[in-house]
Amino acid sequence: MNQTNTSIDPDLNLEAPDICCGYYDQDEFLDNFKSNTDSKLLHINARSLPKNISNIVNYVNLLENRFSVIGISETWLKDIHDPLIQIPNYTIEGFCRQNKRGGGVALYIKQDLEYSIRNDLCVNYSEIESCFIELFNTHKVNVIIGIVYKPPCASCKNFTDQVNEILGHVNAENKNCYIMDDFNTNLVQCDTDNNVHNFVDVLSS
């Protein structure tokens, strides 16, 4: 007899805020956002920028360079300023993993944007890697944008503590903050794993 196992259905097990989230192919994206002047973010898990930079550049060009900031996780870089991983019309900021293969985070920022690196929010630990910038806005409050990566083997509790500390700094400034993420956390376990539940609480707070 066929029986549906609802215990692994994320729609039944994860309580999440009502978020409007759409999925677009290339043509739909261009049609929907061609007249939209708002800032746009793109996140890519590169699994080696040196290996995949050509594909990433081609993809960004296909979407007509519409992204203000591009976040990259798993850069696998040894030098963030390697000339072979530059994207035209973007400036790169980020951090490389030291003395260990893999990991690494980076932000590509469009060259017409003014920004500063938020070193107080950037961390490069075994359980979390992050890079944050603050975009200057002459007429409105500045915006904070970051990329956060949790290695698969990292402790969820330690990662949550670090994210909570970062968000604490951001909340104290009363600025909008946008985080591109690669959390490597099974959110389906929100109701069965206290560490995952606490992580979701931190993101929702």
Asked, for residue 10, whether it belongs to a domain, the answer is: no
Asked, for residue 185, whether it belongs to a domain, the answer is: yes
**CA-to-CA separations, 74 to 4, 6, 69, 188, in angstroms, rounded:** 36, 33, 17, 23
Q: Which of 50, 55, 63, 56 is nearest to 24 (CA)?
A: 63
Asked, for residue 13, whether it belongs to a domain, the answer is: no
Structural domain tally of the chain? 1
Asked, for residue 55, whether it belongs to a domain, the answer is: yes
pLDDT per residue as tens digits for the range 26-53 = 788 778 776 666 778 999 999 999 999 9
CA distance 200 to 187: 8
Q: Is the pLDDT of residue 55 over 90?
A: yes
Asked, for residue 119, whether it belongs to a domain, the answer is: yes
Q: Give the structural domain span for 154.
A: 24-204
CATH of the domain at 45: 3.60.10.10
Per DSSP, the chain holds a count of helices (H) and strands (E) of 5, 8
In sequence order, what are the beta bridge partners of 44? 72
pLDDT per residue as tens digits for the range 60-102 = 888 876 799 999 999 999 999 999 999 999 999 999 987 788 9
Asked, for residue 90, whether it belongs to a domain, the answer is: yes
CA distance 197 to 95: 29
- Higher per-residue pLDDT: 200 or 13: 200
Read off the DSSP letter of residue 189.
G
Asked, for residue 191, whether it belongs to a domain, the answer is: yes
pLDDT per residue as tens digits for the range 129-150 = 999 999 999 888 999 999 999 9
Asked, for residue 32, whether it belongs to a domain, the answer is: yes
Q: Is the pLDDT of residue 173 over 90?
A: yes
